[in-house]
Amino acid sequence: MRVWLLFAAILGMSAGCDLLFQINATAEPKPEAQPTDGLLPDAPSILKCSGGRIVLRPTTTIASAWEVQFPAGSIHVEDVAQEAPDEDTTYIASKRDGAYDLFGHLPVSDATTIDSVVIWARARVDQTTSLPEVGVTLASGSATSWDDQAVATSYGDHSSRVFALDPSTGVPWTVSGVNSMTFGVRKSYADMTARVTQVWAVVACH
């Protein structure tokens, strides 16, 4: 009888060890204390005045009449929103006189005082010309203003006038006015193709 009890005890202990082993083998790994890079918060969605300015980059396409997007299959806003110029790696292009591409942007903080707005575009043309080929454009409400610029065959930065007043209202900018404006480029004349690789706006503020 004692031998049988000892044998049963050994079997019970063995079965328990198997059970413990199975539970441990299938246990979930302990989660990391910090999220991976893919789970970290995105960039701020509201822009604040820093060093006397805010740089607005395109985030949405509002008007898309420029016929060419490069690379093929890309969308307009992707081709001009880069912070660093990539020249002919990504660009929009057009030959059609009067064609607009306009873009939306992230909002600025309610606490911002706006002094002025300047629109910029980095552009080139395929062949030498004496005609201004790119109009650097700001659209606010029903007002659309552009400044035609002569563009060379190599890329260069071209700016609009300094908009000290909101062209839609004729009075100094408000935060809501800046947040609702759009900016971009207008093709001028139809003699040759122009390319734009970057569009941005600089808001002077305090």
**In this structure, are residues 186 and 135 in contact, taking their beta carbons and an 8 Å threshold?**
yes
- pLDDT for position 119: 98
pLDDT(40) > 50:
no
Per residue in 140-187, pLDDT (tens digit) is: 999 999 999 999 999 999 999 999 999 999 999 999 999 999 999 999
CATH no. for 53-205: 2.60.120
**pLDDT over 70 for what percent of the chain?**
79
Mean pLDDT value of segment 118-122? 98
**Domain boundaries defined on the chain:** 53-205
SS (H, E, C) 66-124: CCEEECCCCCHHHHHCCCCCCHHHCEEEECCCCCEEEEECCCECCCCCEEEEEEEEEEE
Residues 105, 55: Cα–Cα separation, whole Å: 10
Name the token pair of 62: 């509002």
**In this structure, are residues 158 and 124 in contact, taking their beta carbons and an 8 Å threshold?**
no
- The label of the residue with tokens 């306009």 reads 102
Sorting pLDDT into bands at 50, 70 and 90, what band is 44? Answer: low
Q: Is 16 helix (H, G, I), strand (E, B) or coil?
A: helix
Mean pLDDT value of segment 82-95? 97
Neighbours of 119 (CB within 10 A): 27
Query: Read out DSSP for 126-183?
Result: SS--SSEEEEEEEEETTEEEEEEEE--SS-EEEE---B-B-TTTSSB--HHHHHH-EE
Sorting pLDDT into bands at 50, 70 and 90, what band is 81? Answer: very high
Strand partners, 12: none
- pLDDT for position 21: 37
Region of poorest pLDDT, from 12-21, 105-114, 150-159:
12-21
Sorting pLDDT into bands at 50, 70 and 90, what band is 60? Answer: very high
Beta-sheet pairing, 68-70 with 91-94:
antiparallel
Q: Is 52 helix (H, G, I), strand (E, B) or coil?
A: coil
